[in-house]
Structure 1
C-alpha cells in the first residue's frame, strides 16, 4: 500500500482532518494534502514528523494492518434473517447483527392453528404491523380482532398481547417493535 493511501487511512482512523494533523505535526496543511494525493513523496524524517502528530512510529505505520473501513450492508438476503420463532410460528429477524439496533423488524409467518403461546406477551416499547397474507387474530389487553390482509395494528407493547392464526391458510405479518434508546432490543 502506498504511503499516500496509508497516511489517509491512518488520519481517518484517528478522526483527524488534514488541518488538525498538520497543526499537531507542525507542518503545513498543503503538506498533508500533497502526500495524500501522492503528489509528493515525503522523506523518512518528514514522514516521522507527520506521524508524531498521530502519534505513531514509522514501524507501526508500515506494519499496522489498516483495512479500509467496512461499512455494513443495509441489505439482508433471506439467508441473513434468522428464524427466532417457535413451533408453527416463524419470526424472521431483519437486521440481525446490526449494532445499536432499536427497532426490531420481523417477517412473521403463522401456520394454520399456530399462535404465540398460551401466555400473553408483554415487553417495553411499541409495536406496529400489517397483515400481508391470510388472517390473524390479535388480542391486545382485553380487545380482540381478526385482521385480514391489508389491515394493521399499533399498540404499546407493555399491554398483554397475543397472535393466533385461526384460519385454514398461512398468515404473514410484517411488524416492527420500537424500544427505548436506553433499553436493549427485544430480539
Structure 2
C-alpha cells in the first residue's frame, strides 16, 4: 500500500490542509508533507497520531474498498501489515464494519521490543504465545511466557513486549476497543 498517497487522499477527503492536520495531530506540516511524498515512512504511533486528527482508525486507513457483503474469512495475504521495523502486526478483519475487537497476528525477531517507553491506552488486551518466548511488563511487574501461555490485562496499565530467546516470537493478540 502507498501510505503517502493514501494519507493525502483521506486528508483531502476530510477537507483539511496539511497545516490543519498538523495542528490537530501535534506534528509538523513538514512531516506530513514528507509522509505524503513517501520520503519518510511513519511509525505506527506517528501514523495513529495523524489519523486521530482526521479522526480515522488505523483499520479504516488500511481497509480496501469494500463491497456490500461482510467478509468472514481473511486470508494471510489479505491481512494488512501495520508494523514497522522489526515488529510485524497483521490485522485480521480490518475492513469489517463496526468492528469491536482488534485482532492481530504478531511476529517479533529475537531481541525486538515495543520500545523503551511503556505503552498505555484505553481498553483491555489479551493474547497467546504460539512460538518463541515473551517478556511482558505490565504495571511494573515482569512475566516470561512461552508457547501456550496467555495474558489478559487492562491496557491503561503501562506495558511493554520483548522477544527473548533465540527464535522469533509469534503470538495472536486481541484488544478492545480496537486500537488498530
Q: Using structure 1 for the length normalisation, give the TM-score.
A: 0.59
Distance 1:89 1:120 in 2: 16
What are the residue-to-residue correspondences of 1:102-141 with 2, within 5 Å? 102-141=100-139
Query: Secondary structure, in 3 states, of the residue corresponding to 2:118?
Result: coil
The answer for the alignment partner of 1:156 in structure 2 is: 154
RMSD: 1.2
Once the two structures are superposed, residues 145-174 of structure 1 have per-residue CA deviations (whole angstroms, 9 ceiling, x without a partner) of 110001010000010000001211001011
Q: Any unmatched runs of 5+ in structure 2?
A: 1-66
Q: Using structure 2 for the length normalisation, give the TM-score.
A: 0.61
Distance 1:71 1:155 in 2: 34
**Matching of residue 186 in structure 1 with residue 151 in structure 2:** no
Once the two structures are superposed, residues 106-148 of structure 1 have per-residue CA deviations (whole angstroms, 9 ceiling, x without a partner) of 0110111111111111111100110010101000011101100
Distance 1:142 1:175 in 2: 21
Structure ID, larger Rg: 1
**Matching of residue 99 in structure 1 with residue 92 in structure 2:** no
Distance 2:171 2:114 in 1: 13
CA contact (8 A) 2:71 2:96 kept: no
Query: Secondary structure, in 3 states, of the residue corresponding to 1:153?
Result: strand
What are the residue-to-residue correspondences of 1:20-39 with 2, within 5 Å? none
The answer for the alignment partner of 1:51 in structure 2 is: none
CA contact (8 A) 1:81 1:93 kept: yes
Query: Secondary structure, in 3 states, of the residue corresponding to 1:165?
Result: strand
Once the two structures are superposed, residues 1-22 of structure 1 have per-residue CA deviations (whole angstroms, 9 ceiling, x without a partner) of xxxxxxxxxxxxxxxxxxxxxx
Distance apart, 1:70 and its partner CA: 3.5
Find runs of 4+ consecutive structure 1 residues off by over 2 angstroms.
none
Distance 1:157 1:70 in 2: 33
Q: Any unmatched runs of 5+ in structure 1?
A: 1-68, 180-184
Query: Secondary structure, in 3 states, of the residue corresponding to 1:163?
Result: strand
CA contact (8 A) 2:70 2:97 kept: no
